[in-house]
Amino acid sequence: MNKIVKGILVLGILLLLSTSCGIYQDANQPIAEKLTILESKLVPVDVGYFTIQGQAKNISNRQLKCAEIRGKFYDNNGTLVKSSRTNTLQLMPNEIWGFEILYIGDRPIAKYEISIVTAY
């Protein structure tokens, strides 16, 4: 493999690692005891452009190093169109995090689901 391809692969891996919390979990405390989603809504912004906007709260008694939420976008037939994630770092106890998950595409979105991926 030439140096340019290796460089692109390394940059891609670094970008992927820097935009995700990873899969670490504290086995001593379930996610549901650390982070809760307070509200969310699907917001059409423009043709082919939607966001899921919401708020999540750190309900634990300690700082969360990383919290990550996944949004799934579905069309009118209930077919999954896209899955995306967003995260935040250093969420203090009782702090509320305003999150946004973006969808850009050519299929109209009819509904969505969100879930907490990780919180530690």
The domain limits of the chain are 24-119
Q: Is the pLDDT of residue 8 over 80?
A: no
Structural contact between residues 85 and 22, judged by C-beta atoms closer than 8 angstroms: no
> What was the pLDDT predicted at 22?
62
> What was the pLDDT predicted at 30?
77
Distances (CA, A) of 84 to 64, 69, 100: 21, 9, 10
> What was the pLDDT predicted at 89?
96
Structural contact between residues 39 and 55, judged by C-beta atoms closer than 8 angstroms: yes
Amino acid at 107: R
Rounded to 5 degrees, φ, ψ at 24 are -60, 140
What percentage of the chain has pLDDT greater than the value 90?
66
What percentage of the chain has pLDDT greater than the value 70?
77
User: What totals of helices (H) and strands (E) does the chain contain, helices first?
Assistant: 1, 6
> What was the pLDDT predicted at 3?
59
CATH 3.90.1300.10 is held by the domain 24-119: no
> What was the pLDDT predicted at 10?
43
Mean pLDDT of the chain: 84
Q: What is the dihedral of CA 30, 32, 33, 39, to 10 degrees?
A: 160
